[in-house]
Structures are given as C-alpha cells and as structure tokens.
Amino acid sequence: MIYFDNNATTKIDERVLKDMWPFLSDNYANAASTHALGRSVSAAITDARETIARSIACRPGELVFCSGATEALNIAIKGAAFGAVDGRNKIITVATEHKAVLDTCAYLEQVGFEIVYLPVDQYGVVSIRELQKALDEQTIAVCVMLVNNETGTVQPLAEIVRQSRAKGALIICDASQAFGKLPVDVKELDVDMLVLSAHKFHGPKGAGVLYLKNGVVLSPTSHGGGQESGLRSGTLNVPQIIGMARACELAVSELDANSTYVRNLRDLLERELLRIPGTRLNGHPLLRSNNVVNISFTGIDANVLIAALPELAVSNGSACTAAVFEPSHVLTAMGISKEEAYASIRFSLSKFNTVEEVEAVLSLLTHYLSRIT
C-alpha cells in the first residue's frame, strides 16, 4: 500500500510510540491523583505542556489539552460566542473551513448568532475586501484556518489579523494542517487562539491542544472535574499527551529538513501529473503547503479511480453522509464545477514517503487512465 493521504492522518513516528509506551504500561496513574505515582504522571504532563508551549512560542499555562482539533475548535468558537460581552453577536469565518468550524458556526446560527461566511477566489484565498465589509463592533471573532486541508492554500493571516484587531475581534486560527509544514509561532501570528491536532504531524490520534492567549476569557462548554482551567473537564489522556509533546518536538527540530524533502516529492508528483491531458491543479500555485497536490482529472469519477487502485491510499476530498457523496465544499467555493470537484483527488505526502513511491503512483495512474480513455 502506498499511503498518500497524510492530510487525513499520518503514520505515528516510532520515537513517539517509544515515549508513549511507559504511560500505557507502568505509569498509568491519573494525573490528578495525589499519591506518588499520580504525582509522577502529573510531572510528566507538566514537562509535556512545556515542550508543546516551546514548539509554538507560548506559555505553558496558555494551553488547554483536548481530544483533537474538533473539540478544541468547539471550545474556542462556542466559548467565545457564549462568553461575549458588550452585546457582540457575530462570528466571521471562511466558506472553505473544515466542517468542525462550519458545523459549529451553523449551530451558533441556529441559537441566534449572526454568522458570516467569507467567499474565496479561484485559488481558495479569502477575500480581504469582504472581510472588511463584514467586520464591525458586533464581531466576536474571526475564525480562519492557516492552511487548507484539501488544497494546501495558505491564507493571508497577517492581513486578516490586522483588519480584525481594528474592530476588537478575537482571532481563532485552525493550524491543524500547518504545524510541521510551516513555522507556527503564536507571537508572530498574533492570534488569540490556535488549534493543533497531534495525528496530523506523526503523533497519536485523540490528542489536540488549544492555545488560549493569556487574558482571553471563554465560557466553558462542558462541565465536570474542572481540569484544564475548567475549559475541558475530564481525566487527562496521559499517553496521548506525552506522544503529542514528542511529536511537536520532532516536528520543530526536523522542520527544515522535512519541508525540503517533502516539497521535492510534491513538486515531482505535481509536475508529472500535470503532464497528463485533462488535468488541472486546484489551489494556489505558490501560496500552498509543501505536501499537497489536489488535481482534477477531467471526465474521470475520482471515486471510481480510487476504487480501481486498491494499492493506493488517496482522498477525493468529498464528504460521505448517509451514503450520499457530495462534491467538496472547498472546491465548489472556489468556483470549481461539481463535475470537476467529483473528478478531483488530493495527494498528501509526508516524510515517510519516497521518490520510488511517487514514481509508482504515476505509473499506476497513467496505466489506469490509458485503459479507460
């Protein structure tokens, strides 16, 4: 199996597994327990928190451990909305956001908040002009991903922050697909909240973190034991947190080398794919993360192609709900037709992929396409 679906999830690094194992076998105590084993585990959590904080240049006390990006985004968006003061009632987001954001905003819309969905251009870049028109003194927060999960397009976050600050709006950034591919420094980004998910950068599933800038107040969305400053009650998932910390450490220390390596693989794959008649690149040609190629194969049903190549793991970027396939909302928001969206495949690479795999994928695709055209 050739795995080119790394934006869906990544292979866990063996070094991460090694650090996790003691907390799955021997150091299994609850981090909130006051006995010796509990205190030992609590100390390990403190170390992990400090490691993750260093990786994004924040204070350890500004981190809230969660089960992943979806939970973190729910805490951030709902917490900001329900904790808003001065009568603010508007949330601004982007039409190409992950469903974790869009569905959370849809819920808030149902309970009375105003939600503005900003349009994007043909490359998936948000319209700053529309942001300026939408921003006002009623705006609670602007929620935007740094890197799109389907196309890799990088949003102009600095300008979004500048415009939002002028109206006193909070900035919530989903950096799930950016961390490990781009430098992520919360001080430089100047955001109020930022979300990471460990399984997107060779860490374990079930581990995420919300950066919450000191002084920003959220209304809790769940209640219980009061863990994580009362924002995320529940027993801490110690092995996953330990694994996330190690994955963060590796992602930062190996960022330059991995970025160059993966970019070279992506460029090779993209160059050869675009030589196939009827193909087109979806997403920004330059302002894009280093590991993603989203390609439309005109006249081809992507689901049929994927099913015909069981030795290849890729994604068509569309959601399947109740057995009904819908075209990617990201691609259609970019003005791409439903037919082209259905014909699109996302190839997403990682440090564990090789040139030989790229060449094998190209051979598989060209052989398949030559048989059906």
**Neighbour tally for 95: CB within 10 Å:** 17
H-state helical runs in 287-335 = 302-308, 329-333
Q: Name the strand (E) or helix (H) holding 243.
A: helix 238-253
- Residue 353 sits at φ, ψ, to 5 deg, of -85, 165
Cα Rg of the chain (Å, integer): 21
Task: Residue 155: name the closest of 136, 137, 135, 182 by CA.
Answer: 182
Distance CA(154)–CA(145), nearest Å, equals: 8
Joined tokens for residue 74: 């729910």
Distance CA(216)–CA(87), nearest Å, equals: 17
Contact between 171 and 162 (Cβ < 8 Å): no
DSSP assignment of 94-148 = ETTS-HHHHHHHHHHHHTT-EEEEE-B-TTS-B-HHHHHHH--TTEEEEEEESB-
- Looking only at the bridges linking them, the beta strands covering 170-174 and 139-145 are parallel
Catalytic residue ranges: 320
Contact between 97 and 144 (Cβ < 8 Å): yes
Distance CA(151)–CA(124), nearest Å, equals: 8
Please state the length of the chain: 373
- Residue 224 sits at φ, ψ, to 5 deg, of 170, -120
One-letter identity of residue 344 = S
Distance CA(166)–CA(132), nearest Å, equals: 10
